[in-house]
Amino acid sequence: MKNSNQAQKNCYTEVEAAESLGISLLHLHAILDENVFNDGVPRPANMLLEASDLVLLEFWCNLTPNPKVVRMPRRPR
């Protein structure tokens, strides 16, 4: 998602998504675990992500504390 001139694909593997976001696969997994799979359901082994998923992942990846943004509370485990 760093270069908007690149042709977008319909589906991305986890490795392709991490490359597109400029992060490691471990960092991608950490973002997914913290923001998506945080209700006790384990993350699937191999996921396919859409371009719209990458937009949200990029937001979470670049998230810095902002007093104007109210974050949803974490779900109890």
pTM over 0.95: no
Quick one: DSSP state of residue 67? Answer: T
The answer to whether residue 28 is domain-embedded is yes
The number of distinct structural domains making up the chain is: 1
Residues in the chain: 77
Report the pLDDT averaged over residues 53-75.
77
The answer to whether residue 66 is domain-embedded is no
The answer to whether residue 74 is domain-embedded is no
The answer to whether residue 25 is domain-embedded is yes
Tell me: the pLDDT tens digits for 3-37?
555 566 889 999 999 999 999 999 999 999 988 88
User: Is 51 within 8 Å of 4 (Cβ atoms)?
Assistant: no
The answer to whether residue 3 is domain-embedded is no
User: The tokens of 77 are what?
Assistant: 């485990």
Quick one: DSSP state of residue 36? Answer: T
Q: Which domain holds residue 34?
A: 11-61
The answer to whether residue 76 is domain-embedded is no
